[in-house]
């Protein structure tokens, strides 16, 4: 294939990034994009970074705006509007103030969504198991991924000494699978495509999973452990005979819905 043709194909596919992230492509277009991403590290990386920029705000907890902050903002906007020429001033403030109210309401809602619906913490440095999984995730993010066929998947799953099964909700979107180690102990990784992101599920023995006291405490209280670190969310949850860490650049609430 000529270099110009390859470049045109890359550009044509990357022009569909927004539609891919928003799940607006037709089944044929999405299948074409998935097939291209499976073999193109450059486009996969670019799409992932695009997704981070698009979804970064939803991953971060937004601080609540105080009444004092809202009042100062209103005063500043009033002064700015009054400094405009008379012919340009009409309707300006009336259009801006409702937007401020919407933005403040959105920030409050975002803060409650991250901090209220799912117990979540910031930073993962204190849990070696999570830190090791994040390192493996970043390493494979830029590597070539290839969806396993049924035989390869069966061999991989049977090679573990603990039950290792991909998530039912994501199995049809598998991007790859591999054996790895977490803290020197064996683990199985299943990678999935999800709205332009790569999610990776690390399945490990219950012995390794429950060795972490913070995870034991969170499981006992909430049934799972959620954390955000460097724009990535991690959800730790137990399974029958094993434990899983699900990692991706999406809000932890999304991982919570996908884990079942």
DSSP assignment, residue 249? S
The predicted structure's pLDDT at residue 98? 43
Rounded to an integer, the average pLDDT of 212-237 is 90
Q: Which of 61-75, 149-163, 194-208 has the lowest mean pLDDT?
A: 61-75
Same domain as 185, residue 86: no
CA–CA distance, 254 with 142 (Å, rounded to integer)? 23
Q: Supply the pLDDT for residue 2.
A: 56
8 A C-beta contact, residue 151 and residue 250: no
Q: 129 with 108, same domain?
A: no
Which helix H or strand E contains 105, and what residues bound it? helix 92-116
Q: Is the pLDDT of residue 63 over 90?
A: no
Query: Does residue 251 contact residue 146 with C-beta atoms inside 8 Å?
Result: no
Do 138 and 180 fall into the same domain? Answer: yes
Q: What is the pLDDT of residues 136-168, one digit of tens each?
A: 999 888 778 889 999 999 999 999 999 999 999
Domain that holds residue 50: 3-59
Same structural domain, 50 and 33: yes
Residue 126 and residue 242 in one domain: yes
Query: What is the pairing mode between strands 225-229 and 120-122?
Result: parallel
What is the rounded (10 degree) CA torsion for 101, 105, 110, 116?
160
pLDDT at 100 over 50: no
Q: Are 32 and 79 part of one and the same domain?
A: no
Nearest alpha-carbon partner for 201 in 212, 191, 210, 211: 191
Instruction: Please indicate, yes or no, whether residues 149 and 254 belong to a single structural domain of this protein.
Output: yes
Same domain, 168 and 45: no
pLDDT of residue 248: 94
Position 109 scores a pLDDT of 38
Q: Are residues 139 and 234 in the same domain?
A: yes
Q: What tens digit of pLDDT does each residue of 21-55 get?
A: 656 677 788 778 877 777 777 777 666 655 544 44
Question: How many domains does the chain contain in total?
Answer: 3
Q: 106 or 228: whose pLDDT is higher?
A: 228
Tell me: do 177 and 111 sit in the same domain: no
| Full-model pTM | 0.58
Q: Which residue has the higher pLDDT, 204 or 124?
A: 204
pLDDT value for 213: 86
Domain boundary among 43, 59, 75: 59
Buried b (16+ CB within 10 A) or exposed e, 60-87: eebeebeeeeeeeeeeebeeebeeeeee
Same domain, 249 and 124: yes
- CATH for 174: 3.30.200.100
Terminal CA-CA length for the chain? 43
Average pLDDT for 104-125: 43
When pLDDT is cut at 50, 70 and 90, the band that residue 3 belongs to is: low
Q: Over the chain, what is the mean pLDDT?
A: 75
Task: Give CA–CA dist 70/73, Å, rounded.
Answer: 5
Q: Let me know whether 223 and 246 are in one domain.
A: yes
């Amino acid at each position: 294939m000529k270099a110009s043709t390859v470049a045109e194909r890359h550009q044509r596919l990357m022009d569909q990034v927004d539609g891919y992230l928003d799940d607006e492509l037709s089944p044929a277009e999405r299948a074409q994009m998935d097939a291209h991403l499976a073999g193109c590290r450059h486009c996969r990386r670019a799409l992932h970074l695009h997704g981070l920029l698009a979804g970064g705000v939803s991953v971060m907890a937004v601080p609540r705006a105080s009444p004092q902050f809202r009042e100062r903002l209103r005063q500043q906007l009033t002064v700015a509007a009054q400094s405009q020429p008379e012919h340009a001033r009409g309707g300006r403030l009336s259009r801006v103030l409702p937007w401020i109210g919407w933005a403040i309401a959105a920030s409050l809602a975002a803060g409650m969504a991250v901090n209220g619906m799912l117990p979540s913490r910031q930073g993962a440095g204190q849990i070696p198991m999570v830190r090791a999984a994040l390192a493996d995730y970043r390493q494979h993010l830029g590597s070539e991924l290839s969806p396993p066929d049924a035989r390869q998947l069966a061999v991989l799953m049977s090679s573990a000494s603990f039950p290792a099964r991909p998530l039912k909700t994501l199995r049809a979107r598998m991007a790859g699978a591999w054996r790895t180690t977490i803290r020197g102990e064996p683990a199985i990784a299943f990678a999935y495509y999800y709205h332009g992101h790569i999610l990776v599920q690390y399945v490990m023995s219950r012995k390794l999973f429950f060795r972490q006291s913070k995870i034991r405490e969170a499981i006992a209280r909430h049934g799972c452990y959620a954390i955000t670190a460097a724009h990535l969310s991690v959800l730790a949850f137990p399974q029958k005979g094993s434990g899983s860490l699900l990692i991706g650049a999406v809000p932890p609430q999304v991982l919570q819905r996908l884990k079942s």
